[in-house]
Chains A and B, each alone.
Chain A
Amino acid sequence: MTIPSFHLFVQTLILGGLVGGVYALMASGLTLIFGVMRVINVAHGAFLILGAYITYELFQYFKIDPIASILITMPVFFGAGWLIQRYMLSRIANPEQTSVLVTFALALVLEGILGFIFQTTARMVTPSYTSDAFIFATYRFPVTRLIGFGTALLIILLLYLILQYTNLGRAIRATTQDPRAAQLMGINTSMISAFTFALGLSTAAAGGSLLSIIYSFNPSSQADWIARTLSIIVLGGMGSIPGALIAALTLGVMEQMTSIVVTLYWSPIVFYFFLFFTLIIRPQGLLGEIIREKG
């Protein structure tokens, strides 16, 4: 245990906060999907890693900047999400009970295929600005994290605007609140589910691209990412995007603090701890409703 100096403390806050913004983007899609469909998409982590690999390949072979490749990966994931919902998830009988297993199976398939293609070597996308940083009042702001944070907030803002001010967004929110009533009001809820899942996966695409410039990754790191994103949406309240934002920033900072105060190796404990205890002590999280009980 080391007690950090004030300077190190603030620096840690900055680094944790910046990465927390990226976590928020990754978690927003997951929480949106849960809100509408009551499906916990355990494959979210695997899709993040898939997004990261696509970004890596685009950078390696076509010299496409990792941020620009978001414009490619997002539409592709949107389409994939649409198909997965229409042809797979909509077929399962009792989604609240079985969706975890189905999406887990999907995660295994993705991890297996990625492992087959890319082996287990850790990769990272390294554009020219990888190790650049701004210095402001003696504090370091790494460029990759700044870009990640900015891009993430921009996409979350877009998501928020779609949800708040478009008819589609209103329909999504209505379905979240009460699927049956929404259906009675003439909303095609199965279309909304497909659209939401597609939207959720496209945030994973963007999240994956941002991940690839900040962290190194290999196929099996999907498990770490599902733990991170799950604990964020659980703490923030399943289905709540503002909750996810607050929880992501909190956990991002706490993770960074733990890695300074204890060691880097213990920092994931923050996520596992909140994942375990939030559901038991406060199932509704910070801002959200209690997960509908079974039966």
Chain B
Amino acid sequence: MKKIRIPAPVWTVGLFIALLAAPFAARSQYQQHIMVMTLMAAVLASSWNIIGGYTGYTSLGHAAFFGLGGYLVAWTNNRYGWHPFISSWFLALVVMVIALIMGWISLRTQGSAFVVVTIAVVFIFRLLALNLSDITNGAKGLTQPRPGWAGIPWSPEVIKIPFYYIMLALLSLTIFVSWRIRQSKFGMGLIAIREDEGKAESVGIDTMMYKVLAFGISAYFVAVAGGIYSYFFTFIDPSFVFGIFTSVTMVLMAILGGRGTLWGPILGAFIMAPLSDWIVGKFGGSQIHLAVFGGILLLVMLFMPQGILPTLIEFLNKRAKARNVSAGNPS
């Protein structure tokens, strides 16, 4: 049988068209809501993957950038009336500068020490958000007016639609940048750092520069998503956005799908985001969803540390090879 290969651009464009039409296929607002959350999760996982996957530095600090983006957007919206759909993109640049400084300091450490330092980053920002209550409104968090445009609020029936498309735009941009990085010399450098940082340095890669840049870029999209998120919910809760759990969900989705691959984190997000919403819905306000999340992470780490996509590809390759051998034409 002749094998039919669908070229990558075709299925990418096909997927994109399907995603464009998706909100109108939704049967309820709730489904649209989950679609928005799934796209956001994909942005987070895919963006985290730039530092956590390509470069191999497991950051548990990205919740800080998510929260910072959210707070900046909420604050400027309340104070100056800046529309979050526009301000998110610019304010995330501010977060990116903060991330570059944080990265420049923290990327001196490696391995577990780096993970611990990034945990500390999240704790520090949470403490600031809780205590600088003149700006952040303390533990009560910040609220925003109902979403709308030019002073006219969007009608409740279609309110999810604009959020869906702006998240889709953000996700497309994130995937595009991630893909471009993967193809570029910069991306090769990042992968070299992951494989062997000492050797990467000895062949002339400015490893510090590369790592800090990757950290900054990876923080940017997370911050934009945080800004849009705060408007979507019109509320931002310091203990949630500046919580290690928020960071861990990004890590879990990326690892589940396959960290370091372009599509793995997206796959992970498309599995985990609807699943986690279902879990939270099923068990209500109880904390059992933490246990389910932790359990999945544990299982993945123990039995499929490479993630779904690489495991699948390896399996298919092995099978193709076996078939070739049995057909008498070894590769």
Question: Residues of A at under 8 Å CB distance from B?
Answer: 38, 40, 88, 91-93, 96-102, 104-116, 119-120, 219-220, 223, 227, 230-231, 234, 265-266, 268-269, 271-273, 275-276, 279-280, 283, 291-295
Contact A116 B112 (CB under 8 A): no
Contact A279 B109 (CB under 8 A): yes
Given contacts A108-B293, A280-B109, A295-B196, 19 further A-B contacts (CB under 8 A): A40-B112, A40-B115, A97-B58, A97-B112, A101-B58, A102-B302, A105-B297, A108-B291, A109-B295, A111-B291, A111-B294, A112-B292, A113-B288, A223-B243, A265-B131, A275-B116, A275-B119, A291-B111, A295-B198
Interface check B135, CB cutoff 8 A: no
Contact B251 A265 (CB under 8 A): no
Contact B117 A294 (CB under 8 A): no
Contact A276 B301 (CB under 8 A): no
A283 to B121, CA, bound (A): 17
Q: Interface size (B, Cβ < 8 Å)? A: 45
Contact A291 B124 (CB under 8 A): no
Contact B115 A100 (CB under 8 A): yes
* Interface of chain B residues 62 through 116 with chain A (CB within 8 A): 105-106, 108-113, 115-116
Contact B294 A283 (CB under 8 A): no
Q: Which residue of A lies closest to B302 (CB)?
A: A91
Counting chain B CB atoms within 10 Å of each CB, the highest count among A98, A219, A276 belongs to: A276
A217 CB to closest chain B CB (Å) equals 14
A107 to B112, CA, bound (A): 16
A88 CB to closest chain B CB (Å) equals 7
B 180-208 binary contact with A (CB < 8 Å = 1; else 0): 00000000000000001110000000000
* Interface of chain B residues 97 through 153 with chain A (CB within 8 A): 105-106, 108-113, 115-117, 119-121, 123-124, 127, 130-131
A276 to B122, CA, bound (A): 10
Which of B110, B243, B289 meets A112, CB within 8 Å?
B289
Contact A294 B111 (CB under 8 A): yes
Contact A272 B124 (CB under 8 A): yes
Measured between beta carbons, the chain B residues less than 8 angstroms from A114 are 287
Measured between beta carbons, the chain B residues less than 8 angstroms from A271 are 123
Counting chain B CB atoms within 10 Å of each CB, the highest count among A114, A115, A266 belongs to: A115
Measured between beta carbons, the chain B residues less than 8 angstroms from A92 are 301-302, 305
A259 CB to closest chain B CB (Å) equals 13
Contact A107 B111 (CB under 8 A): no
Closest 3 A/B residue pairs (Cβ): A115-B287, A112-B291, A108-B294
Interface check B244, CB cutoff 8 A: yes
Q: Which residue of A lies closest to B105 (CB)?
A: A280
A273 to B110, CA, bound (A): 18
Contact A280 B117 (CB under 8 A): yes
Beyond A100-B112, A115-B287, A276-B117, whether A108 also contacts B248 by CB under 8 A is yes
Contact A96 B286 (CB under 8 A): no
Q: Can you report 9 A-B residue pairs in the complex whose CB atoms are below 8 A from each other?
A: A97-B112, A102-B302, A105-B294, A112-B288, A272-B127, A275-B116, A276-B124, A291-B112, A294-B197
Measured between beta carbons, the chain A residues less than 8 angstroms from B179 are none
Contact A280 B288 (CB under 8 A): no
Q: Which residue of B lies closest to A87 (CB)?
A: B302
B 44-67 binary contact with A (CB < 8 Å = 1; else 0): 000000000000001010000000
Measured between beta carbons, the chain A residues less than 8 angstroms from B275 are none
* Interface of chain B residues 234 through 255 with chain A (CB within 8 A): 243-245, 248, 251, 255
Which of B116, B127, B290, B291 meets A279, CB within 8 Å?
B116
Interface check B298, CB cutoff 8 A: yes
Contact A120 B287 (CB under 8 A): yes
Q: Which residue of A lies closest to B283 (CB)?
A: A116
B314 CB to closest chain A CB (Å) equals 15
A108 to B287, CA, bound (A): 10
Contact A101 B301 (CB under 8 A): yes
B 203-245 binary contact with A (CB < 8 Å = 1; else 0): 0000000000000000000000000000000000000000111
Contact A111 B113 (CB under 8 A): no
Measured between beta carbons, the chain A residues less than 8 angstroms from B127 are 266, 268-269, 272
Contact B244 A223 (CB under 8 A): yes
Q: Which residue of A lies closest to B106 (CB)?
A: A280
Contact A269 B124 (CB under 8 A): yes
Q: Which residue of B lies closest to A93 (CB)?
A: B305
Contact A234 B288 (CB under 8 A): no
Counting chain B CB atoms within 10 Å of each CB, the highest count among A40, A114, A279, A292 belongs to: A279
A109 CB to closest chain B CB (Å) equals 4
Contact A105 B124 (CB under 8 A): no
* Interface of chain B residues 245 through 278 with chain A (CB within 8 A): 245, 248, 251, 255
